[in-house]
Amino acid sequence: MIWNEAKECMSRDEMEHLQSKRLVKTVDRVYHNVEFYRKKMQVLGIEPGDIKGIEDLPKLPYTTKNDLRDTYPFGLFAVPQSEIVRIHASSGTTGKATVVGYTRRDLDIWNECVARAMSQAGVTRGDIIQVAYGYGLFTGGLGAHGGAENLGAMVVPMSTGNTKKLTTMMKDFGVTAIACTPSYLLHIAEVLEEAGDIPNIKLKAAVCGAEPWTENMRKQIEEKLHINAFDIYGLSEVMGPGVACDCQYHKGLHVYEDHFLPEIINPDTLEPMAKGETGELVFTTLTKEGLPLLRYRTKDLTSIAYDKCECGRTLARISRFKGRSDDMLIIRGVNVFPSQIEAALLEMGGTTPHYMMIVDRKNNLDTLEIQVEVEERFFSDEIRELENLTKKIGHVIQNAIGLAAKIKLVEPKTLERSMGKAVHVIDKRKLD
């Protein structure tokens, strides 16, 4: 079902016309209401009148997470505090929190975008949906909640923290959809499997995001739970979940371009990249009132396709994320993304996507150990079987990342499960 055909199926010309109109308004608004942008534009010698449409986008300054930190807490807000009705914040691992603010209209648009995403996943007003992202300052819980309510579904606001209660309610209420991180959904699947409860649930769809995951992991979730799983993307600075989501064809995530204008840039030169090339995703918000952002550098690496999707949507599609440029590890000079390990393990079979990379430094040389959970049956086999599997995983991973790693097989369910964003790396080099 297409929830909003008028906005999702317009021609490229119509979309660009709408984006241009909205960009001009946004630039005008930030120039007059946000000192940070006025100064940045003055330094570049541009005035709002110089921006006539999206073709002028490259003239505008970039915004980074550090700019939000430097203006902490409310320095980039474009409306008086009395018009802000909600705050969210992301803590990040370093530095101060970044605080984001929403006007009532911002919340309405957010709810609409998440409703569009859930509708792409087949969720309707007849569904019962458990929201199992964390509620609170993180945008996942309240963001998914607002969208599901907007759609008219019956929302069960689980948050994270009590998987047993979640699975019990899933059975008792006949829950048909769930929104949570993909790693948490895998854990939920394990708990259901262990209790023999998979036949007793009515789940049909999952809307998962907030962390990178591979196509194979998506398929594994679908097979384990007999559901359709969808990939929802977003980031708190730009809005929260619901900036983009994939449809039933899973050929990339449709960006809600009428609200968020995407670009791909080369993260080193900051030059825009040619259509279809992989680089850093950058967003300019087109309708936000509370915290409008010009050319926000997400650090997420992807590419954009503009051809029409089989589902009928004409919205630009971003490809599944490879990772964040700041998730990339440099080990012995080689660039490694944790998602490469997950992809290799799942392709091989016999393993789960649960792994932990432990990076250390001995005698000035980087070391990499990868702990991999393997299926129970391998531990009941002869020791030789385990040794063979260790070797095989070593080869597969070396092929994938171009580096030899020490492989340590661990029994099922030994690695800690996360209910929020999964942690796959312990970098002891940073602790020096």
The site for ligand DLL (CB under 6 A) is made up of: 90, 133, 139-140, 209-212, 231-236, 240-241, 298, 300, 321, 324
Closest approach of ligand DLL to the CB of residue 251, in Å: 15
Integer Cα distance of 113 and 286 in angstroms: 13
Find out whether 54 and 22 touch, Cβ atoms under 8 Å: no
Residue nearer to ligand DLL on the CB measure, 8 or 211: 211
Closest approach of ligand DLL to the CB of residue 45, in Å: 31
Closest approach of ligand DLL to the CB of residue 322, in Å: 9
Closest approach of ligand DLL to the CB of residue 394, in Å: 27
Residue nearer to ligand DLL on the CB measure, 209 or 292: 209
Residue nearer to ligand DLL on the CB measure, 101 or 209: 209
Q: What is the CA radius of gyration of the chain?
A: 22
Closest approach of ligand DLL to the CB of residue 250, in Å: 12
Residue nearer to ligand DLL on the CB measure, 120 or 139: 139
Residue nearer to ligand DLL on the CB measure, 67 or 405: 67
Closest approach of ligand DLL to the CB of residue 241, in Å: 4
Residue nearer to ligand DLL on the CB measure, 325 or 390: 325
Task: Determine the residue type at 397.
Answer: I
Residue number of the CB closest to ligand DLL reads 209
Closest approach of ligand DLL to the CB of residue 178, in Å: 12
Nearest to 408, CA basis, from 374, 365, 363: 374
Residue nearer to ligand DLL on the CB measure, 63 or 298: 298
Structure tokens at 159: 């948050």
